[in-house]
Chain A
Amino acid sequence: MRPFDYLRAASPDDASAAAAQGATIIAGGTNLLDLMKHEVVAPDTLVDITRLDLGGIEQTDQGLRIGALVTNSDLAADRTVRRDYPVLARALLAGASGQLRNKATTGGNLLQRTRCYYFYDTSTPCNKRDPGSGCAAIGGFNRIHAILGASNHCIATHPSDMAVAMLALRALIEITGAGGDTRTLPLDDLYVLPGDRPDRETVLNPGDLITAVILPPPAGATQIYRKVRDRASYAFALVSVACVLDLQDGKIAQASLAFGGLAPRPWSAKALNDMMLGETPSDALFERVADHLLAKAKGQGSNDFKIPLARRTLIAVLHEAVERAQP
């Protein structure tokens, strides 16, 4: 690890100001320190936000407000989340380990970096780590890489489970900028696709601090998170599906899908949800939804299996959701 200066932020504005001047925010540290040890990132200054008053889970007019420092374990254990947003509790519990969830924070989880092996290996080319150097994963080992949304410059996936569930729940994020202004943004608008700038992963500006995530009032529907991975626990998703679905008089009255492991960002598509609304659930409908999701899917060699795996996982989740949603 390279030497760095350590600051403890006294207020959110203080943290934003430091970050705007180039300091790197540290929360749980479970992703950042890992990357610093490999010298994938080498900040000159860390600004520690863990003493800020950014915890707490509370009901507000907008919905359930989750402070950026709420740990993944506290969020998964929260009774309101377990009752009203089970897809989120399930996604959190499917991620990492008990120890890591005790440290991992809501803000840090959203902004964790890819697990692409070459991103971690500083002896190989990687456009995300070292813009312009190339991409060792294209034509290399790419079992965990993207089949949707990738570019000729980067095929990495976003590793978060939590963000996938939050996307299906149509979460908003609250951000304090360097000037002290606060804004909210749909989580869907946070992430950008790699294009020719895979080092740029979100719309955040230097100095932007995530202060909270807001979940709209509960959907009251059947909620499922299914994660497929190489071992039963403590492994990242190869494919994951978050599903919020409701039936009324035998027809789909509400549908929201989001996917992990498939793309450089937590993936969703409004068209997928729209094509199910008002329809009677059927094998044919679910096949059409899968066709639509995967119409532009492209395998890279070792990850070709993700295309049929995503199809089968999605269809299985939709069947389970319909079964559970029957009165």
Chain B
Amino acid sequence: MQTKLTINAQAHTLEADTRTTLLDALRFHLGLTGTKKGCDHGQCGACTVLINGRRINSCLTLACMHDGDEITTIEGLGTPEAMSTLQRAFVEQDGFQCGYCTPGQICSATAMLDEIKAGWPSHVSDDLLADPDLSDIEIGERMSGNLCRCSAYPNIVDAIRDAAGTDSA
């Protein structure tokens, strides 16, 4: 089955079996191996990418369902020479150990900060209608879909808080 995808602002035509998840399409058909496979069942967040700006688990969606969609992966957020604010903050704060969960963490955090800007509440927000703050508890809750086997959580939270600060400054 043929599917047209725009990935990191580049048009791609994918020819693949209907069973192909978006994750497998990225890694095995298009050679974009920045996106990682952890559990393949929506339980770890390693495969997080952005579809039309929103974070999703690419292991739990079919590539063929995304004909015409715009996908951003870690490769599209920045490069080693020109890192995004969050990518730089993860390096500066040492927000990883093995690095396996990192692409998912950074894609997830990128969209998460947009959700906060849009005023979305979270499970730990006291007031559903107030503008959310960026406390460590809020960051932890909003990032709970991204597990880190190395437990680099404290530094991940620091990196996200830093990036958000830089962003709004």
Q: In the bound complex, how far is the Cα of B130 from the Cα of A89, in angstroms?
A: 14
Contact of A4 among B18, B45, B61, B144 (CB under 8 A): B18
Interface string of B122-154 (1 = CB under 8 A from A): 110100110000000000111111100000000
- Picked from A29, A100, A102, A234, the residue with its CB within 8 Å of the CB of B62 is A29
Q: From the candidates A37, A77, A100, name the one contacting B121 in the complex (CB within 8 A).
A: A77
Select which of B57, B115, B128 is within 8 A of A103 by beta carbon: B57
CB distance A6 to B1 under 8 Å? yes
> Does A183 reach chain B (CB closer than 8 Å)?
no
Q: How far is the CA of A232 from the CA of B141 in the complex (A)?
A: 8
A79 to B60, CA, bound (A): 28
Contact yes or no, A103 B40, CB < 8 A: no
* Cβ-neighbour of B128 out of A50, A82, A96 (below 8 A): A82
* A77–B119 CB distance below 8 A: yes
Chain B at the A interface: SS class: loop
* Chain B residues with CB below 8 A from A98, complex form: 55, 108, 111-112, 115, 142-145
B82-122 toward A: CB 8 Å interface, digit per residue (1/0)? 00000000000000000000000000100110010011111
B34 at the interface (CB under 8 A from A): no
Question: B57 — which chain A residues lie within 8 A by C-beta?
Answer: 30, 99-100, 103
Q: What does the 1/0 interface line of B24-61 toward A look like (CB < 8 Å)?
A: 00000000000000001110010010000011110011
Min CB gap A219→B, angstroms:
16
Whether A34 and B60, one on each chain, are in contact in the complex, defined by CB atoms closer than 8 angstroms, is yes
B106 → chain A closest CB, angstroms: 13
A1 part of interface (Cβ distance < 8 Å): yes
Is A122 engaged at the interface, CB distance under 8 Å to the other chain? Answer: no
Q: Given A34-B41, A93-B121, is A99 in contact with B61 using a C-beta cutoff of 8 Å?
A: no
Q: Using A30-B57, A89-B121, A103-B61 as known contacts, say yes or no to A37 and B40 having CB atoms under 8 A apart.
A: yes
Q: Which residues of A contact B55 (CB under 8 A)?
A: 98-99, 102
CA distance A89 to B21 in the complex (A): 30
Question: Which chain A positions have C-beta within 8 A of B65?
Answer: 26, 29, 48, 50
Q: Does B64 contact A (CB under 8 A)?
A: yes
Q: Is the CB of A99 within 8 A of B118?
A: no
B15 interfacial contact with A, CB 8 Å: no
A296 CA to B20 CA, complexed, in Å: 47
Q: Which residue of A lies closest to B47 (CB)?
A: A99
Give CA–CA (A295, B118) in the complex, Å: 46
Answer yes or no: A200 CB below 8 A from chain B CBs.
no
Cα separation A102 to B49 with both chains bound (whole Å):
12
Q: Looking at chain B, what size class is its interface with the partner chain?
A: 35 or more
Chain A residues near B115 (CB, 8 Å)?
Answer: 73, 77, 98
The reply to whether A29 and B61 contact each other, CB–CB distance below 8 Å, is yes
Tell me whether A99 and B21 are in contact (CB under 8 A): no
Closest A residue to B41 by CB, please name it.
Answer: A34
CB neighbours of B45 from chain A (8 A):
97, 99
Q: In the bound complex, what is the Cα–Cα distance between A98 and B108 (angstroms)?
A: 8
Closest A residue by C-beta to B45 = A99
A54-86 residues with Cβ-Cβ distance < 8 A to B are 73, 76-77, 79, 82-83, 86
User: Do B141 and A89 have beta carbons less than 8 Å apart?
Assistant: no
Say whether, besides A30-B57, A89-B121, A103-B57, A97 and B145 are in contact (CB < 8 Å). Answer: yes
- Shortest CB distance A32–B (Å): 9
A94 B128 Cβ-Cβ under 8 A: no
**Contact between chains at A100 and B123 (CB < 8 Å):** no
A166 to B158, CA, bound (A): 37
Nearest-neighbour CB distance to chain B for A80, whole angstroms, equals 11
CA distance in complex: A223, B30 (Å): 48
Tell me if B12 is interfacial: C-beta within 8 Å of chain A: no
Instruction: Pick 30 A–B contacts, CB within 8 A, sort by A.
Output: A3-B18, A4-B19, A6-B1, A6-B64, A26-B62, A26-B65, A28-B61, A29-B60, A30-B42, A30-B60, A33-B61, A34-B42, A34-B60, A46-B18, A73-B54, A77-B120, A82-B121, A83-B129, A89-B128, A94-B123, A98-B144, A98-B145, A99-B42, A99-B45, A99-B48, A99-B55, A100-B145, A233-B141, A233-B144, A234-B144
